[in-house]
A and B are shown apart, each in its own frame.
Chain A
Amino acid sequence: MSDYEHYEALVVGAGPGGAAAAATFANYGIETLVLERGVEAGSKNVSGGLIYAEESAPYTIDDLFPGFREAAAERPITKYRIHNIAGDKVESFDLTDLHEHDTEWSDSVLRRKMDSWLEDRVHERTRETGGGLLTGVHVNGLLREEGRIVGVTLDELDPITADIIVAADGVNSELARDAGLMDWDEPDEWFQGVKAVVDMPEDTIADRFDVAEDEGAAHLFSGDLFEGVRGGGFLYTNRDTLSLGTVFHLDSLVAEQAEPHELLDGLLTHPLLAQWLGDDYTELEYSAKLVPDSKKVALREPHFGRLLLVGDAAGQMQAQGPIIKGMNHAVTAGALAAESYAQAKSRNEPEKAGTRYARKLRNEGVMKKLRPRGYELLRGVAEDDGVTNVVDTVLTSAVGRAGVRALSGRLERLYNVPTLSALMPDTRTPYVTLPTVIAEELGTRVRDESSVTPPDLEARIGGLTYDTDIGSPHITLRDESYEASGAAVAACPVSAVDFGGGCYREEVVRTNGSEERVVSLDTQPCVECGTCAVVADTDWSHPRGDKGVEFKWG
């Protein structure tokens, strides 16, 4: 063995998954080092976001971090509605039952505030074990000896070895990819989330959303307002800001060649939102990030030797119909992973930490939520294009419309059935067709007019803080042909066709009388969302520690 610096446990990433793992290791007195690439935990992170404490979960964030809700969260979410939209017709359902199902509490959060609060707690507790938390360090791969994983390599530090390594490095986990547990090849395995944080005084929020100080509202949007792209929109109230955004299936985004920022604008400027946004729209931050679809990518055995994967890195991000649950599962998994190692070690079989962790994920019911069995069974039929077409045709026909009308009284209740929403097939039917038909048949016309003018892409990029790593781009194009990488021009949330100031641009190269369509890449405005890792042919990694974009809100 070489004389590398050694810690008993290494945790890569200080999001909710990493924080939970580190706190649990510390509870067992295990020497733990946490490595985070951002200038501060949270500076790289984006979520909607509502964090759930599920009644059935073995660990919740406030179990591990007492005082979390008071210090790190925004508002408890007490109202939960979904709006089915067709043009300016809207039919709204109250989904508070679904939201409250298996829910002890659910709070809106902003990630910079939340994660940096967790960072301080984690550093304090892991420091007592002889380790601690470091920011500004980017783990760039696994360290192997004789083919076995023994540690990690970093841009800023010499390699470090450990007895156990928890990869909590989020979506586009470089460690999961290095271990061969994840590839970034299939757009249909991912969602792309895009978000705007909007300034709004507390009393205006109270007024417009009819919420008291300790209450908050969540509104979801689906139907025909997103150019047929499968996905939906959200609006959550924070203390004195709003989080608004969209989450779309990446394959659908690519197929429709939709521009993410325009889809977001479609939501922001819809007349339904005028009642909440008023005429004083001030956008504080634009951000984006990929989100794994656990139904397809949650690893059944998220471990390899000494490496345990938790949270987004393991694909543990559950889209329960319109409800997005990633942070809570990352917390549970992080704690279970650390606990598994501690228990395996006390039995003198630390090498069994991984299988123990996978077993716990099953026995605690986490796996069932992430990969519902019914979905697997249904998927073959329900996601068949032919079936979708038939269902959609029926639904939009007079018969289907009559059915929707006949069901009208019961639709809201059906939407509230947790098992149904968990099984929602990944087709345009539930995302687009059904909500549109519902709105058309049952909806009422919105009379308001929107006066919201969202900033253009250039202003959005200009509003972000970057520490660009000039001269060493973190992403390079492996294949610059349009066929291989052209999809990124539209799909990259800070690029657009005919916009020169983004990351991806289309260019035409003329050589010897022939013309070739190629794409070029400039990583300066990159928000590190991960999209082009999947939809283009790139060598993709995160920037070095402290470098790249810095989100102030998240």
Chain B
Amino acid sequence: MHMVVLTKGVPDFREGQVSFDEDGHLERGKTPTVMNPNDRFALEAALQTRVRHGGRVSVMSMGPPGYKEVLQEAMETVYADDLHLVSDREMAAADTWATAITLSAGIETLGEPDVVFAGFKTADGETGHTGPQTNWCLDMPLVTHVISLDIDEEAGTLRAKRLVEGDIEEIETVETELPAFVVADPEFEPSYRTAGERLTLKDLREETRARAQNYEEHLTVRDHADINVDPDYIGLDGSPTIVSSVDPIPKAPAEREATMVDPDDTGAMQDVLTAMQSAVGDGDAGDAAAAGGD
């Protein structure tokens, strides 16, 4: 089994990591780049396939050189064997279509993988286009919204459960031939129900620990020439969509005015107490405090 997983770096949107400028624009330079959180499910799906059927996992990303660390993070998650970064200036400012062209060409340089995995949506672009569009170029059967996965190697088939959202959620089971393209749903749950699988997982984790330390030895960086694509079809030149403007969504107005009070400032605390007293309309501050602490 050869699996390829696609992953992208995104700004770390977690509280305390992300920073915005005064106009509410993301400050990329000040915000660390991390692996797109949804890609974890694609990686988990690949890992489960590998644990059950053996084989090799390659991880690929298109992006700037800074994505190397993202690939390292992916290696630690999926215990990947090899990492691939497709990167050069010609690829910059790609929309999802140009990204798909680039990624599909990149995948083709790796041979003929049995399964390609992509995540559902990224935390920044959030289109969810890249997986399906990449597969449009590769022309394999496509299964999206996958929440669980089984492969029959002998029959050369893949059976998956898909989460179909509508008025009511339904789970649909589909079967297709390999090779296939899988988009993992954030509800994807890997399952390891045998001791053998869990032991293999443990071995892989152990092996990967050393590999992820020297991940650059397992990383190949390719430019457009290496993957054999015409620069007219990638990057800005290959992108039919133009983002005309980005507008910040105005914040909802605060409903109440709040004043910060330092609890060690006795004077200020006395003011709070006085305010509470007048609010309660009772002269006894002790009662008001007791009621507040209840």
Tell me, in angstroms, the Cα distance from A35 to B196 when the chains sit together.
12
Q: Does B198 contact A (CB under 8 A)?
A: yes
3 pairs of A and B residues whose beta carbons are closest in the complex: A132-B199, A158-B193, A5-B194
B interface: dominant SS: helix
| Contact (Cβ within 8 A) B202 A134 | yes
Which of A35, A127, A157 sits near B194, CB closer than 8 Å? A157
| Contact (Cβ within 8 A) B195 A160 | yes
By a CB distance below 8 angstroms, the chain B residues around A157 are 192-195, 198
Tell me, in angstroms, the Cα distance from A156 to B203 when the chains sit together.
19
Complex: chain B residue closest to A4, CB-CB: B194
Complex: chain A residue closest to B199, CB-CB: A132
Question: Quick one: which of A363-411 are within 8 Å of B by CB?
Answer: none
By a CB distance below 8 angstroms, the chain A residues around B202 are 123, 132, 134
Complex: chain A residue closest to B201, CB-CB: A134
By a CB distance below 8 angstroms, the chain B residues around A131 are 195, 199
Could you mark each residue 204-227 of chain A with 1 if its beta carbon is under 8 Å from any beta carbon of chain B, else 0? 000000000000000000000000
Q: List 7 A-B contacts (CB under 8 A).
A: A35-B195, A131-B199, A132-B199, A134-B198, A157-B192, A157-B193, A158-B193
By a CB distance below 8 angstroms, the chain A residues around B203 are 127
Q: Does A33 contact B (CB under 8 A)?
A: yes
Tell me, in angstroms, the Cα distance from A157 to B192 when the chains sit together.
7
By a CB distance below 8 angstroms, the chain A residues around B195 are 5, 7, 33, 35, 131-132, 134, 137, 157, 160
By a CB distance below 8 angstroms, the chain B residues around A123 are 202
Tell me, in angstroms, the Cα distance from A390 to B271 when the chains sit together.
71
Closest chain B CB from A538 CB (angstroms): 29
Question: Quick one: which of A157-188 are within 8 Å of B by CB?
Answer: 157-158, 160
By a CB distance below 8 angstroms, the chain A residues around B192 are 157
Question: Quick one: which of A83-130 are within 8 Å of B by CB?
Answer: 123, 127
Q: Which residues of A contact B (CB under 8 A)?
A: 5, 7, 33, 35, 123, 127, 131-132, 134, 137, 156-158, 160
By a CB distance below 8 angstroms, the chain A residues around B198 are 134, 137, 157
Tell me, in angstroms, the Cα distance from A134 to B196 when the chains sit together.
10
By a CB distance below 8 angstroms, the chain B residues around A127 are 199, 203
By a CB distance below 8 angstroms, the chain B residues around A35 are 195
Closest chain A CB from B29 CB (angstroms): 37
Complex: chain B residue closest to A7, CB-CB: B195
By a CB distance below 8 angstroms, the chain B residues around A137 are 195, 198
By a CB distance below 8 angstroms, the chain B residues around A7 are 195
Closest chain A CB from B121 CB (angstroms): 29
Question: Quick one: which of B165-213 are within 8 Å of A by CB?
Answer: 192-196, 198-199, 202-203
By a CB distance below 8 angstroms, the chain B residues around A156 are 193
Tell me, in angstroms, the Cα distance from A156 to B199 when the chains sit together.
14
Given contacts A134-B198, A137-B198, 20 further A-B contacts (CB under 8 A): A5-B194, A5-B195, A5-B196, A7-B195, A33-B195, A35-B195, A123-B202, A127-B199, A127-B203, A132-B199, A132-B202, A134-B195, A134-B199, A134-B202, A156-B193, A157-B192, A157-B193, A157-B194, A158-B193, A158-B194
Closest chain A CB from B52 CB (angstroms): 13
Residue among A7, A33, A157 facing the most chain B CB atoms (10 A cut-off): A157
Closest chain A CB from B97 CB (angstroms): 44
Could you mark each residue 9-43 of chain B with 1 if its beta carbon is under 8 Å from any beta carbon of chain A, else 0? 00000000000000000000000000000000000
Closest chain A CB from B200 CB (angstroms): 9
Closest chain B CB from A161 CB (angstroms): 11
Tell me, in angstroms, the Cα distance from A33 to B202 when the chains sit together.
13
By a CB distance below 8 angstroms, the chain B residues around A5 are 194-196
Tell me, in angstroms, the Cα distance from A132 to B204 when the chains sit together.
14
Tell me, in angstroms, the Cα distance from A66 to B90 when the chains sit together.
60
Tell me, in angstroms, the Cα distance from A7 to B192 when the chains sit together.
17
Residue among B193, B195, B196, B203 facing the most chain A CB atoms (10 A cut-off): B195
By a CB distance below 8 angstroms, the chain A residues around B194 are 5, 157-158
By a CB distance below 8 angstroms, the chain B residues around A132 are 195, 199, 202
Tell me, in angstroms, the Cα distance from A398 to B202 when the chains sit together.
68
By a CB distance below 8 angstroms, the chain A residues around B193 are 156-158
Tell me, in angstroms, the Cα distance from A325 to B195 when the chains sit together.
33
Tell me, in angstroms, the Cα distance from A127 to B199 when the chains sit together.
8
Closest chain B CB from A409 CB (angstroms): 60
Tell me, in angstroms, the Cα distance from A472 to B185 when the chains sit together.
27
Tell me, in angstroms, the Cα distance from A123 to B206 when the chains sit together.
12
Complex: chain B residue closest to A123, CB-CB: B202
Complex: chain B residue closest to A132, CB-CB: B199
By a CB distance below 8 angstroms, the chain A residues around B199 are 127, 131-132, 134
Closest chain A CB from B268 CB (angstroms): 30
Closest chain B CB from A156 CB (angstroms): 8
Complex: chain B residue closest to A134, CB-CB: B198
Tell me, in angstroms, the Cα distance from A127 to B195 when the chains sit together.
12
